[in-house]
Structure 1
Amino acid sequence: MKHDLKRGALLLASATFFVAALNALQKLTGTRLPALEIIFFRNLFSLPFVLLIASRTGIVLRTHHFGGHLIRSVVGLISMIMVVITVTRLPLAEQQVLSYTQPLFLVLLSIPLLQERPSLQRWIAVLIGFSGVVVVALGKGLLNTNATSVSTIIYLLALAQGAVGALTTMQIRQLSATEASTTISLWQAILMTVMTAAPLPFIWITPGWQDGLCLVVVGAFAGIAQVLQTEAFASAQVSAIGPFAYTGLLWAALIGWLGFGEIPSSAMAAGAVLIIGSGVWMLRHDRASKARAAVVATVEAAEGS
Structure 2
Amino acid sequence: MKHDLQRGAMLLVSATFFTALLNALQKLTGSTLPALEIIFFRNLFSLPFVLIIASRTTIVLRTRNFKGHVLRSVIGLISMIMVVVSVTRLPLAEQQVLSYTQPLFLVILSIPLLHERPSLQRWIAVCIGFSGVVVVALGKGLLHGSAAAVPTWAYLVALAQGAVGALTTMQIRQLSATEASTTISLWQAILMTVMTAAPLPFIWTTPHMADALCLVSVGAFAGIAQVLQTEAFASAQVSAIGPFAYSGLLWAALIGWFGFQEIPGLAMLAGGLLIIGSGVWMLRGERPSKAPVATEDVLTTVDEARS
**Partner of residue 102, structure 1:** 102
Secondary structure of the 1:117 match is: coil
**Partner of residue 299, structure 1:** none
Change (3 A) 1:52 1:149: same
Distance 2:50 2:285 in 1: 32
Residue identity matched to 2:31: T
Secondary structure of the 1:88 match is: helix
Residue identity matched to 2:217: V
Residues 155-194 of structure 1 correspond to what in structure 2 (within 5 A)? Answer: 155-194=155-194
Measure how far apart 1:174 and its partner are. 1.0
Question: What is the aligned length?
Answer: 291
Secondary structure of the 2:190 match is: helix
**Partner of residue 236, structure 1:** 236
Residues 22-171 of structure 1 correspond to what in structure 2 (within 5 A)? Answer: 22-147=22-147, 151-171=151-171
Secondary structure of the 2:151 match is: helix
Residue identity matched to 2:276: I
**Partner of residue 210, structure 2:** 210
Contact 2:90–2:150 at 8 Å: present in 1 too? no
**Partner of residue 14, structure 2:** 14
Contact 2:104–2:129 at 8 Å: present in 1 too? yes
C-alpha deviations, 1:115-147, integer Å up to 9, x for none? 100000000000000000000000000000334
Distance 1:225 1:102 in 2: 19
Change (3 A) 1:2 1:187: same
**Partner of residue 264, structure 2:** 264
TM-score of the pair, normalised by structure 2:
0.93
Alignment RMSD: 1.5
Contact 2:79–2:161 at 8 Å: present in 1 too? yes
Distance 2:38 2:290 in 1: 40
Deviates more, 1:27-36 or 1:1-10: 1-10
Distance 1:199 1:25 in 2: 22
Distance 2:202 2:82 in 1: 20
Identity of aligned residues (%): 84
Contact 2:239–2:288 at 8 Å: present in 1 too? no
Over alpha carbons, which structure has the higher Rg? 1
C-alpha deviations, 1:188-233, integer Å up to 9, x for none? 0000000000000000000000000000000000000000001111
Structure 2 gaps of 5+ residues are: 292-307
Residue identity matched to 1:164: V
Structure 1 gaps of 5+ residues are: 292-305
Residue identity matched to 1:240: A
TM-score of the pair, normalised by structure 1:
0.93
C-alpha deviations, 1:145-182, integer Å up to 9, x for none? 33479611110100000000001111111111111111
Measure how far apart 1:287 and its partner are. 4.0
Contact 2:140–2:146 at 8 Å: present in 1 too? no
C-alpha deviations, 1:17-67, integer Å up to 9, x for none? 000000000000000000000000000000000011111101100001101
